Amino acid sequence: MFVSVVVPCMNEEESIPALVDRLAEAIRPWADRAEIILVDDGSTDGTWEAIRKARKRVPQLVGLRLSANRGHQVALTAGLEAARGARIFMLDADLQDPPELLGEMMAMMDRGYDVVYGRRARRQGETLFKKASAFAFYRFLNALSDVAIPPDTGDFRLVSRRALDAVLSMPERARFLRGMFAWAGFRQIGLEYVRAPRAAGETKYPLRAMLRLATDALTGFSTKPLRFATRLSFASLFVTFLMAVYVFGSLILYQTAPGWASVVLAVSFFAAIQLLTLGILGEYVGRLYIETKRRPLYFVSEEARGPEIVSSSSSNREHFKEIA
């Protein structure tokens, strides 16, 4: 197998036909040595049925159905673990990232690169808030991160087998794959493109999901928030010392006690700092708690490969051992 295409899908019933057609055309030069892996991430619509129907038209198509919704990054990981290709192409099902760039990415990888990632030059069809928050997120993340993560990039990329194996060897449960590929290293290069509007359906990344991904990114690739909490504690001690000097000076010079406003201000200030520090520590402690449980990332309930739809209860550790 030369190239594997991996696409996580969550309630993408409307997008599947066009997605499969464009992917089949993109892999045409390597059609006899290619596979398309669509991962149904616990969809509640007809996504799985759409995948099954598409298999009748495109023999290279492989379907994986997760037993429950595990999130975009875990669904993508499931597809990456099932991929058999020497090169692996990743994109989302909404067709905002054009599959037609596969040929150009292949040519760049032929020059010796292990990772060719798409860099969004422009974002069409997205709100001003979405564009501004994405711009701020990557700059803020790189300011805090211990590893440089290319800005304005997503999971749209072509990677070599050795780069993928390096990332899959990382055991963390809270996945931020674009950061994991950046941390793995190897030769990487960006390819600028214009991100198109969503082809069909609605976005699967509302504000809550974006905040969760941002938290995983910060806690997974930076300890600077912890150092910030420590420095904030020292700063608060210094402010406390200055306030103590003011209070005692007022008692000695003016024979009066500070008013209720200064007391309320001081209590509110230090309570806010304590809660912020506890929140930062809680994120890291919660991450450690999740990591120590060592649960499988996902379970595959069905796999569509070859002429049959095969039921399965396998986890990410063993699902390709059970099904040839």
Distance CA 318, CA 224 (A): 36
- Higher per-residue confidence, 255 vs 135: 135
Buried b (16+ CB within 10 A) or exposed e, 177-188: bbbbbbbbeeeb
Average pLDDT over residues 98-114: 91
Statement: residue 119 has pLDDT above 60: yes
pLDDT band at residue 58 using 50, 70 and 90 as cut-offs:
confident
Residue 220's pLDDT is 64
Distance CA 199, CA 215 (A): 28
Residues 95 and 19 in one domain: yes
Residue 105's pLDDT is 92
Residues 196 and 177 in one domain: yes
For 133-178, write each residue's pLDDT tens digit.
Answer: 666 766 766 666 667 777 778 889 899 999 999 989 887 777 788 8
Residue 264's pLDDT is 55
217 belongs to a structural domain: no
Average pLDDT over residues 225-250: 67
Residue 323's pLDDT is 37
Residues 310 and 199 in one domain: yes
Residues 10 and 47 in one domain: yes
15 belongs to a structural domain: yes
70 belongs to a structural domain: yes
Residues 9 and 128 in one domain: yes
Measured over the CA atoms of residue 221, residue 148, residue 125 and residue 199, the dihedral's sign is negative
Residues 54 and 146 in one domain: yes
36 belongs to a structural domain: yes
Please return the burial class of 309, using the count of CB atoms within 10 Å of its CB with bins 0-12, 13-18 and 19+: middle
Residues 249 and 307 in one domain: no
Residues 171 and 266 in one domain: no
Per the prediction, the chain carries an average pLDDT of 77
215 belongs to a structural domain: no
Measured over the CA atoms of residue 313, residue 317, residue 318 and residue 323, the dihedral's sign is positive
212 belongs to a structural domain: no
CATH of the domain at 51: 3.90.550.10
129 belongs to a structural domain: yes
Residues 32 and 101 in one domain: yes
pTM of the model as a whole? 0.66
Q: What is the number of domains present in the chain?
A: 2
For 27-45, write each residue's pLDDT tens digit.
Answer: 989 988 899 999 998 888 8
- Higher per-residue confidence, 114 vs 196: 114
pLDDT band at residue 230 using 50, 70 and 90 as cut-offs:
low
Residue 240's pLDDT is 67
Residue 310's pLDDT is 46
Average pLDDT over residues 79-107: 90
Residues 164 and 281 in one domain: no
Residues 19 and 144 in one domain: yes
Residue 37's pLDDT is 92
161 and 86 in contact (C-beta within 8 Å)? yes
Residues 70 and 48 in one domain: yes
200 belongs to a structural domain: yes
Statement: residue 317 has pLDDT above 50: no
What's the domain range around 309? 3-205+296-322
How is residue 44 annotated by DSSP? S
